[in-house]
Structure 1
Amino acid sequence: MHTPPIVSAQDWAAAHQQLLVKEKEVMRAHDALAAQRRRMPWLPVDTEYQFDGPDGKVDLLGLFQGRRQLIVYRAFVGPDIDGWPDHGCRGCSMIADHIGNLAHLNARDTTLVFASRAPQPGIERLKERMGWQMPWYTITDSFDVDFGVDEWHGTNVFIHDGDRVFRTYFINQRGDEVLGNTWSFLDMTPLGRQELWEDSPEGYPQSPPYEWWDWHDSYGEREPSRWFGEPDPNDPNDQRPPR
Structure 2
Amino acid sequence: MSETTTLPAVVSHDEWQIARDALLVKEKELTRAADAIAAERRRLPMVRFDSGYEFEGPQGKMTLLDLFEGRRQLIVYHFMLAPGQKAGCPGCSMLVDNIGHPAHLHARDTTLYVVAPATLPEIERYKERMGWTVPWVSTLGDFNRDCGVDGGFGVSVFLRDGDDVFRTYFTTGRGGDQLVGTLRYLDLTPLGRQEAWEEGGRGTDGPGYWWKRHDEY
Give the TM-score band, short-chain normalised: 0.7 to 0.9
Change (3 A) 1:61 1:164: same
Query: Which residue does 2:21 correspond to in 1?
Result: 17
Cα distance in 2 for partners of 1:73, 1:172 equals 10
Runs of 4+ deviating beyond 6 Å = none
In structure 2, runs of 5+ residues without a counterpart are 185-217
- Aligned position for 1:121: 121
- How many Å apart are 1:94 and its aligned residue? 0.7
Does 2:104 align with 1:100? no
Contact 2:52 / 2:65 at 8 angstroms: preserved in 1? no
Structure with larger RCO (C-alpha < 8 A, sep 6+): 2
Structure 2 CA distance, aligned partners of 1:91 and 1:57? 28
CA distance in 1, matches of 2:133, 2:101: 8
For the Cα contact (< 8 Å) 1:72–1:115, is it kept in 2?
yes
- Whose helix proportion is higher, 1 or 2? 2
User: Pairwise mapping of residues 53-202 of structure 1 onto structure 2 (< 5 A)?
Assistant: 53-79=57-83, 84-85=85-86, 87-180=87-180
Sequence identity percentage: 52
Match of 1:41, SS?
coil
Q: TM-score, normalised by structure 2?
A: 0.78
The aligned counterpart of 1:216 is none
Find the aligned partners of 1:156 and 1:44 in 2 and give their Cα distance: 13
Per-residue deviation, 1:180 = 4.8
1:126-176 deviation digits (Å, cap 9, x = unpaired): 111111111101111111111111132100000110010000000110010
Mapping of 1:213-228 within 5 angstroms?
Answer: none
Question: When the two structures are aligned, how many residues end up with a matched partner?
Answer: 178
Residue 177 of structure 1 aligns to a residue whose secondary structure is helix
Deviates more, 1:141-150 or 1:1-10: 1-10
